[in-house]
Amino acid sequence: MSNGRPAGDYYPNYLAEIGISAEQAQDLVNHAFDTIFFDPEENFCHRTEEDAWCMVDTGNVDARTEGMSYGMMMCVQMDRKDIFDKLWTFSDRYMRLKEGPNAGYFAWSVQLDGKHNAEGPAPDGEEYFAMALFMAAARWGDGEGLYNYTAQAREILRHAVHQHEMIPGGQPMWEPENGYVRFVPGMKISDPSYHLPHFYDLFAQKADEEDRNFWKWAAEQSRKYLIRSADPETGLSPEYADYNGKAVLLFGKPWVYYSDAYRVAENIALDHVWFGPHPEEDDVTTRLQDFFAKQNLQDLRAYELDGTPQTEPAMHPTAILAVLGAASISSKSVHRTRFLKLFVQTPLRKGVRRYYDNCLYFFCLLMLTGNYRIYL
């Protein structure tokens, strides 16, 4: 297992390929961060209490562990401990489950005042919480109690792997038999966009010592799964899939390449930035760019994995364009430069659905400008 980029190593500004200087790149990052957290009209960070803020899913008007942990990762990358601690305080105060089979996990959706919409977790939140906390410890040092970031991250991962051993009736977030992250703890299916091998390689250095080999194995397994679940021609990945990588339809949605699935390209790109090329994994982003180069990018849709467009419009078109830009990091497509230019020409989304699009946009912007870094 690689340890990622050594201290002081250079994280490239990939936008330099299209003439964006380091100064211009940093201006783009600062503007996007300020918009997300502070813009009077377009921010989606809610001040529930003076010491407890939450990220708002503007399309559903709730706070989700996905968004809370995303916001924390944004803050640790931008060196904003003040906001990070407010988000983490909200997460602990209002989302951490105290009893029942999910004790130790976090409720995946709560109202903006903290009242629960759900009593179960979503693993994509837990894995981002843990990674953001480990990086917070590296950037700012551990404090006491809730702000002992390292201890908190290890506890989250301990539950994720050993819930069935720790809590009566509990279910783990990672499948013991194959190392795959589950869609939810009680379902033996996965979500390709939850697979973050670049996080697991770092967990293998920072988690409880007895679990480090598990995380190393999980990283290897996830890289294989990302390849297996992507279509061999189009590079499109399903939102939800069984352990063989075949699409599973949930929630009455008949379409396959849809919102969750967009994150796969973003995740592969960040794995490339942090841990270098993985040729078969990187080939997924090449096929994806080649596929979308043939599509009408002004009329993005839901798609079958073979590329057949469906009548359903894409709910998050800005997110698709953002991850196609990030895909240029690992892609060998002849269309790489086109998608870099398109990324820079794409503004942050405004309006009701801006939350998910702009979260993905910001993470893609961080990695494209050399600002999404390992702190460990």
Question: Which residues carry out catalysis?
Answer: 66, 260
Task: Output the CA–CA distances (angstroms, integers) from residue 331 to 257, 273, 278, in the order listed.
Answer: 19, 12, 11
Residue 12, both tokens = 């490239």
For residue 156, count other CB atoms closer than 10 A to its CB.
Answer: 25
Contacts of 33 (CB under 8 A, 6+ apart): 74, 78, 362
Residue 346, both tokens = 């794409």
Given its phi and psi angles, is residue 8 left (phi above 0), alpha (psi -120 to 50 degrees) or beta? left
C-beta of residue 160 within 8 angstroms of C-beta of residue 172: yes
Which neighbouring-strand residues pair with 15? none
Which neighbouring-strand residues pair with 116? 110
Longest dimension (CA), the chain: 57
Closest by CA to 336, choosing from 295, 302, 303, 293, is 293
Exposed e or buried b for every residue in 188-205, given b needs 16+ CB within 10 A?
A: ebbbbbbbbbbbbbbbbe
DSSP assignment of 136-173: HHHHH---SGGG-HHHHHHHHHHHHHHHHHHSTT---S
How many whole angstroms separate alpha carbon 166 and alpha carbon 181? 18
